[in-house]
């Protein structure tokens, strides 16, 4: 199973987010595209919009991009600290042998080595 994971604070979702997801979804025939708003963004201290509002905005913004898009509330409802390595562990357990591609914006790419357990992230997904 090929999964494209697109996470972020989405505070708010904007045309840049939409554009990068639309473009990435054209390159490979993903079985599932998971958009995952963070519950408590550990990297964006200025994010004050509650999770449920950002989740709803993400649904409105991204569900029509592709028929395989799913908006996940996993991080917002299951994790105290939203770290990508934990989300990847969850996806590896939930799906049988998934091949996970993680869509990442340039803002996050430049700080990637500061992510908690970034080495584990690299082992469990392919950044796009």
Give the mean pLDDT of 3-11: 94
Closest-CA residue to 20 (of 110, 108, 115, 81) = 108
The whole-number pLDDT of residue 114 equals 85
| pLDDT confidence of residue 47 | 78
Phi-psi region of 10 (alpha: psi -120 to 50; beta: other; left: phi over 0): left
Look up residue 113 and give its DSSP letter. Answer: G
Burial 112-126 (b: 16+ CB within 10 A, else e): eeebeeeebbeebbe
pTM of the shown model? 0.92
Which tops the pLDDT comparison, 54 or 45? 54
Range of weakest confidence among 19-23, 25-29, 41-45, 115-119: 41-45
Work out the pLDDT band at 44, boundaries 50, 70, 90.
low
pLDDT at res. 21: 94
């Amino acid at each position: 199973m090929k999964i494209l994971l697109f996470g972020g604070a989405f505070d708010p979702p904007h045309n840049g987010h939409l554009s990068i997801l639309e473009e990435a979804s054209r390159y490979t025939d993903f079985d599932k595209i998971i958009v995952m708003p963070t519950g408590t963004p550990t990297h964006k201290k200025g994010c004050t919009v509650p999770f449920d509002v950002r989740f709803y905005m993400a649904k409105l913004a991204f569900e029509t991009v592709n028929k395989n898009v799913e908006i996940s509330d996993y991080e917002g409802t299951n994790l105290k600290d939203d770290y990508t390595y934990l989300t990847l562990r969850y996806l590896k357990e939930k799906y049988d042998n998934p091949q996970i591609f993680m869509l990442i914006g340039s803002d996050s790419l430049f700080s990637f080595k500061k992510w908690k357990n970034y080495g584990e992230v690299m082992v469990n997904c392919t950044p796009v």
